[in-house]
Amino acid sequence: MGDMKKTSSLADLGVDADIGKSIFKKIYYHAVMDTPTKSYTKITIVDVGNVGMAIAQTILTQDIVEELALIGTNFDKFQGEMLDLQHATAFLPRVQIQADTDYAITAQSNLCIIAAGSQQNPRETRLDLLQHNLNIFRSIVPKLVEKSSGCLLLVVTNPVDVLTYITWKLSGFPPNRVIGSGTNLDSSRFRFLLADYLDVNAQDIQAYMVGEHGDSLVAL
């Protein structure tokens, strides 16, 4: 033991001084931790008809978005809708609202909601409606994916179940990133009717409609 030489520096251990500095760093016990910040949320709504506007108004009242992008084909109409929403923001949390026909404004969206499509005429079948809306979706979905490759896609256009499947195929996204509104509306209507019949609050009713949003529904 008496012959062992005492080391006095990193050099004695064969460690280069510069490397040693990069390995052995001072620890500051009073360092300030980074404060988590709220993530920025952007939502796009495609088509600002009655359904699209109802969605937009609901989103704004929930304080879940920092930027809302509205896309449509009738420029004058949805510019007016945008102004209505912008003027209402005086009573809402701060949010930026844009409207255009150019899909560039949808870039970097977290969620894209597709409400665009033809309405079903009395003499049309659901298959007729599907063909009309399929052509519309072939134009919409690739543009959304190009501008927001990391987004979620939510489909509310009818026939919603088939169009959700088509959107998934057109997008190339994994299935967990393409969602349809499904039977949410049917369930809401069912709960209202039960609550009205029983004379209770609809929020106290636990009831659901499952199956296809259309002709194949089952009440639970």
pLDDT tens per residue across span 71-95: 988 877 777 888 888 888 778 778 8
Q: Which of 35, 37, 56 is nearest to 47 (CA)?
A: 56
The more confidently predicted of residues 34 and 193 is: 193
For 54, residues 6+ apart whose C-beta sits below 8 A from its C-beta are none
Spatial separation of the C-alpha atoms in residues 164 and 171, rounded to whole Å: 10
pLDDT in tens, 29-63: 444 444 445 577 999 999 988 899 999 989 988 88
User: Residue 17: what pLDDT?
Assistant: 53
- Stretch 127-141: mean pLDDT: 89
Question: Could you say which of 30, 87, 132, 213 is catalytic?
Answer: 213
Spatial separation of the C-alpha atoms in residues 56 and 52, rounded to whole Å: 6
User: Residue 174: what pLDDT?
Assistant: 96
Ordered DSSP codes for 49-116: SHHHHHHHHHHHHTT--SEEEEE-S-HHHHHHHHHHHHHHGGGS---EEEEESSGGGGTT-SEEEE--
Spatial separation of the C-alpha atoms in residues 200 and 192, rounded to whole Å: 9
User: Residue 5: what pLDDT?
Assistant: 52
**Tokens 């029983």 sit at which residue?**
198
Q: Is 213 a catalytic residue?
A: yes
- Which ranges constitute the DSSP H helices of 111-202? 126-147, 160-171, 184-198
pLDDT in tens, 144-185: 999 999 999 999 998 999 999 999 999 999 999 999 998 888
The domains of the chain, with CATH numbers, are 42-181 (3.40.50.720), 185-219 (no CATH)
User: Residue 155: what pLDDT?
Assistant: 97
Q: For residue 67, give both structure tokens.
A: 């930027």
